[in-house]
Amino acid sequence: MPTKESNTVKRTLDLKKPPVLSAEQKARLDAVASMPDEQIDYSDAPGLPDAVWMKAAEQLPHIKKQITLRIDAEVLEFFKHTGARYQSRMNAVLRSYVEAHKARAK
């Protein structure tokens, strides 16, 4: 199968060796850090879903059953871009959803 050229650039950040900031970048960061929260414009920040089931469990169950599942391409791409073990994270989100709905049914 031919490989597809990608224009995606992947970068990693080593927290032990942070990038060197210019004087202008430092000044901008200092200016934002000194602002009160009310003055910071968060209008372009994506909203966080308030659904309880979005807080996926850290501990994943060990017994799993392999199935075939059809999901929206956009959903699959979102989880794939979160890195390795994306299927386990999808399972954790579904498990949290089930647990939230079990609690409501009681």
Reported pTM = 0.43
> What pLDDT is attached to residue 78?
93
Residues of the chain with pLDDT under 70: 1-5, 48-62, 106
Instruction: Tell which residue, 71, 106, 73, 105, has the closest CA to residue 93.
Output: 71
